[in-house]
Amino acid sequence: MATKKQQQSFYEDVLEYIVSIGAKNRHIGEICSHYKLDTIAGELFIFLETPQASKIFSICTRFEDEKKAKVYLLHGTFNRLNPYSGKWNFHNYSADETLIRFKMELTPLLLPVSELIA
């Protein structure tokens, strides 16, 4: 079982990563656990749970437009996307493995830097 401290460290690592790739707080001016990120598969909402002791490490996400996300995600190696709800979640017993898998699957969906600046 992962302790609250281990979950907090995981939460901070995920938050540092998503902010570094352009995720924005969905609630301006508030402490937040809900972020949004523009991707080639559409807007991705990222939900970070308040850290608590748990058996697994989780990153919960959902695409705003599941039809658009299906074009990019259901034809690849990974079929994690729920084609009806747009949910695209990552769970594992290892914090490192959860974050590595998230980065690996998200990277091909990131917008080119030129589009982020414009």
Query: For the chain, what are the domain ranges?
Result: 4-117
Q: Would you say the C-alpha torsion 18, 20, 21, 26 has a positive or negative sign?
A: positive
- Please give the pLDDT value at position 111: 80
- Please give the pLDDT value at position 80: 86
Across the 118 residues of the chain, what is the mean pLDDT of every consecutive 10-residue run?
Answer: 91 95 76 86 92 90 95 76 94 96 95 57
- Please give the pLDDT value at position 110: 95
- Please give the pLDDT value at position 116: 47
pTM for this one? 0.86
